[in-house]
Structure 1
Amino acid sequence: MGTDTDLRVLRQDEWDKWYETLIRAFSGVPEAPEERELWNALTELDRSLGAWDGSECVGTAGAFSFRVTVPGGASVPAAGVTMVSVAGTHRRRGVLTAMMRRQLDDIRSLGEPLALLTASEPAIYGRFGYDAASFQRGAEIDTSRTTLSVPPGTDDVRLRYAAPEDVLDACEAVYAELVPRRPGMTARMPGWERVGVLDPESERDGASPLQCVVAERHGRVVGYARFRVKLGWEESGHNGTVVLQNLDALDPAADAALWRFLFGIDLTTTLVVRGRPVDEAWQYLVSDIRRCRPRTRDQLYVRLVDVGAALRARTYQAPVDVVFEVEDAFCPWNTGRWRLTGDAKGASCERTEDAADLALTVRELGAAYLGGVSLAALGAAGRVRELRQGALTEAAVGFGSTVAPWLSHGF
C-alpha cells in the first residue's frame, strides 16, 4: 500500500463507516435495518481489518471463527474470510494484497490450518492460494409436469406448518446432527442461527414472508423446509412459484416428504432451488430431470494455511503414501516436500527430503481437500505433475469423498 494508507484492526466505533465502504463496493444499495444489525453483531472486531486513508475507510476484510467438517467427519478450525472490499478510488495500490497478507499471517498465528471464502469474483483469489473446493446445484423445476417417486416410509412422516421462529431450536438440532455427515458444512456458532430466519421484505422479490414446514416422526422433528411463495396468474390459470431457502432432513423418508410437499403447493407450477448439494437425492427421485433445468456453479473456496496440519486433520478413503512437492508463493512456509501417509483411520503429514511423487501448488491441494475435486482431473488439466507412475491415481482415490462437499450457508 501507499505510505498514506494505514491498515489496522477494526474498532467498534469505526464499524459503521467500515461497513458503508463494504456496502458501496457491492452496489451501494442499503440493507434492511435487521440485516445490518445482525451483521454488526456477528462481526468479530479483532479479526476485522480496515485500510484507512486519513479518516476515510478504503478497504475492508474480516474473518469468522468457524469449524468446518472435513472428510472423515472431523470438525477443523477454519477462518471464514468475509466482507472483503477495496474502494474504487484506491484500486491497484496494493490494498487488497496487504489485507490478504496480514489476514493469512493472523490465521496462521491462531493455529487455524484452513481459510475459507465464497468468491464474488473467483479470479481475484487464486493469486492468494484459494481455489474452488465445492460446488452447488440450482434448478427451476416444472412441478406441473414433474413427479417424484418416494422411498418407503415417506407416508409415515407427519408434516406441519410452524412459524420459523417458533421451531428454530428444533431445526437447529436437525442441522447440528447433519454437520458431521458432509464435508464443507460449518458448525453453527452462536448467533448464526439467526441468518436462516432473517426475512427482510427487500429480499422477498414480491413473494410471501418466510414460511416453514417441519417433518416429524414419533413426535420428533426430523427435517424442515423454509420457503416463500410468489403467486402468479395468466389467462390459462395460476403459475405461482415456490422459492426454497433451506431444507434439511435426517433420513431419506423425511427428505422425500418435504420435497413432495414443495412440489404440491397449491397454485404453483415452479419450484426454484438454489445453492443445494450437487448429489442431493431429489435429482434421483424426479420423473424428468430435464424439466428441472439443473445447473452447477462454484461455491466454497479453500486455502490451506498450514499444509501439514490440514492434511493430517482429514482421513482418506483409500490408503495413500505420497510425497508432494508443494509450491506456495504467497505463504512460503508451505513450500517444500511433504510426505502424506493416511487411510480411513487417520493420517500423518510431515516434511521430508524424499523424492517427490507429485508436484503441485497449494491451490490444487485446496481444491481437492474436501473431496469434491479430483486430483486426477487437475492432473489432466496439467495442474498436477506426476513424478512417480501411479502416484496420481493413488492420491486421487484417497482424497475422494463418498459425499459431495457442500457449504450450507453463505458468510
Structure 2
Amino acid sequence: MTMELRRLDASAWETWYRALEWAFGGLWEAPEERALWRELTEFDRSLALWDDDRLVGAISAFSLGLSVPGGAVVPTAGVTMVGVAATHRRQGILRRLMSRTLADAREAGEPLAALTASEAGIYGRFGYGLATRGLSVDIDTARVTVRVPPGTDGIRLRDAEPTAVLDRCEALYARLVRGRPGMLERRPGWEKVPLLDPPQEREGASELRAVLAERDGELVGYARYALKPDWAEGGLPDGTVLVRDLDVVEPAAYAALLRFFVGTDLMTTVSLRHRPEDDALLYLVSDVRRCRPRLGDRLFLRPVDVGAALAARTYATDVDVVLDVADDFCPWNEGRWRLSGGPQGAVCERTGDAAELAVDVRALSAAYLGGPSLSGPAAAGLAGELRPGALAATATAFSSPFAPWLPHGF
C-alpha cells in the first residue's frame, strides 16, 4: 500500500476534520465548536495521510506555552486531533504520524510535547507519561457546608455575562499561570475556548453564566457555570450546578464562590470537574466523602529535547546527577545527561561521566512537572539506581509544592 503524508491545505480542512469526527464516533460537532477549532488550527503543523483520494490519518499540533516548576512558560507542542480511519488500523500509521510530529517539534525548538488522551493506553509507547491528574467532585448541598476563612464576608459577588467580563477574567487567569506547573498560557484566540457553549451540547442545562468575586472593586476570583434543573419524585427539586471554571487569587474568594454555589436554590448537587489534585475545595467542605472525590488522568507529557526540557525548570533541592536516558522513540534523547541545578535554575548537558540513575523517558515524562515521584516509576522498573542515594535525591529535587494542573484541554 502506498500512502502519502502531506501538510494540511486549508481547502481540505472540512474533509480532514470530518475524518477526525468519524474517528471519535461519527457525531458532528456543533457549528460553533467546529468554527473555533478551524480558527485555531495551525495548518503548517497539521498532517493528513492520504490513501489515493481518501484521508485515512490525521494529526496536528498547537504552539502552546506550558508552565513548569519555577514559573517558566516553556514552548510546547500541543499534540491534538489525532485519528486513524478504522479501515487502516494496525498498519503503523499512528507511529508514522507521531514520529513526524515530534521531529517537527524538535526542529521548531520546542523542548516538550503534550496531549490529552481519548484512550490512555495508547501513548506510553511513544514516550509519554501521565504528568497531571484532575479532581472531580459532586457536592451534596443538603449535607455539606463550606468553611469560610477570615475575610470571606468582605467579598462581593456579582453575576455577569461571560463575554462581557472576559478581559478581566483572562487578566486574573494570566496571574495564576506561572504559579502552578501544567497550566497553559492562553495565547491569542485561546481565550475563546472556555466560553464555548453550543446549545446542542448543553444536555438540558442553561446557558453559561459568570460570577465575579470582588474585594473593594478588585477582581479576586471568578467562576463560569450553568444550572441544570431537575425534579425528583414528588416534585422535589433535584438540580445540579455545573461549574466549568473557578479561578481565584485568594482563599476567601474560593470560599465565597463555593458557598454561593452550594446555596443555590433548587440545586442539590454542585459538580466540578478537572480541578487540581490538591484543590482548596477538599479543605473548605465539611464532609469530603459527601463530595465523592475521584481522580482521572489529564495531561500526558514527554520531553522532545531532554537537555532543554530539564534545564527549563527549577528543582526543589540542589541536584547533581548523571542520568542514563532510554528513549527508543526519540533516539536523539538517549544516553547520559548531567543535570545540575536547584531552586535558582539548572543546566543539563551531555556527559561522558558514569551514569548514576538509569531512567526510561516515560518516567521522566511523568515526573517532569513535579507530580508523581520518580520512586513510583522506579518501583515499576522504569528507573534504576546506579549510585546509592541517587534515586531519593533526584526524586526529591523533582518535586513541586503545588500539584501540576491542566485547566482545560486543547
TM-score, length of structure 1 as denominator length: 0.98
Q: Secondary structure at the match of 1:350?
A: strand
Superposed CA offset, 1:143-182 (max 9, x none): 1100111111111111010001100111111110110110
Q: State the distance in 2 between where 1:145 and 1:136 align.
A: 24
1:350 matched to 2:343: no
> AA paired with 2:225?
F
Q: Which residue of 2 aligns with 1:227?
A: 225
Q: Which residue of 2 aligns with 1:56?
A: 54
> AA paired with 2:246?
L
> Structure 1 residue 54: deviation in Å?
1.4
2:110 to 98, 107, 112: 112
Superposed CA offset, 1:292-344 (max 9, x none): 00000111011101000000000001111111110110111100001101100
Q: State the distance in 2 between where 1:8 and 1:217 align.
A: 53
Q: State the distance in 2 between where 1:113 and 1:202 align.
A: 39
User: In the alignment, is the contact (CA less than 8 A) between 2:155 and 2:256 conserved in 1?
Assistant: yes
Q: State the distance in 2 between where 1:148 and 1:219 align.
A: 24
> AA paired with 2:75?
P
Q: State the distance in 2 between where 1:222 and 1:45 align.
A: 38
Q: Which residue of 1 aligns with 2:93?
A: 95
> AA paired with 1:203?
E
1:208-219 matches, within 5 Å, as 208-219=206-217
* Alignment size in residue pairs: 409
TM-score, length of structure 2 as denominator length: 0.98
Superposed CA offset, 1:7-52 (max 9, x none): 0110100100000000001111111111111000000000000001
1:10-409 matches, within 5 Å, as 10-234=8-232, 235=234, 237-409=236-408
Q: Secondary structure at the match of 1:160?
A: strand
Q: State the distance in 2 between where 1:339 and 1:18 align.
A: 43
Q: Secondary structure at the match of 1:123?
A: coil
Q: Secondary structure at the match of 2:143?
A: coil
Q: Secondary structure at the match of 1:178?
A: helix
Q: Over aligned residue pairs, what C-alpha RMSD do you find?
A: 0.9
Q: Secondary structure at the match of 1:397?
A: helix
Q: Secondary structure at the match of 2:122?
A: helix
In structure 2, the gaps of 5 or more residues are none
Q: State the distance in 2 between where 1:102 and 1:282 align.
A: 42
Q: State the distance in 2 between where 1:81 and 1:286 align.
A: 36
> Structure 1 residue 203: deviation in Å?
2.0
> Structure 1 residue 360: deviation in Å?
1.3
> AA paired with 2:27?
V
Q: State the distance in 2 between where 1:70 and 1:406 align.
A: 10
> Structure 1 residue 236: deviation in Å?
6.0
Q: State the distance in 2 between where 1:252 and 1:324 align.
A: 40
Q: State the distance in 1 between where 2:200 and 2:131 align.
A: 31
Q: State the distance in 1 between where 2:255 and 2:354 align.
A: 51
> AA paired with 1:392?
L
In structure 1, the gaps of 5 or more residues are none
> Structure 1 residue 409: deviation in Å?
0.7
Q: State the distance in 2 between where 1:236 and 1:85 align.
A: 46
Q: Secondary structure at the match of 2:187?
A: coil
Q: State the distance in 1 between where 2:325 and 2:253 align.
A: 44
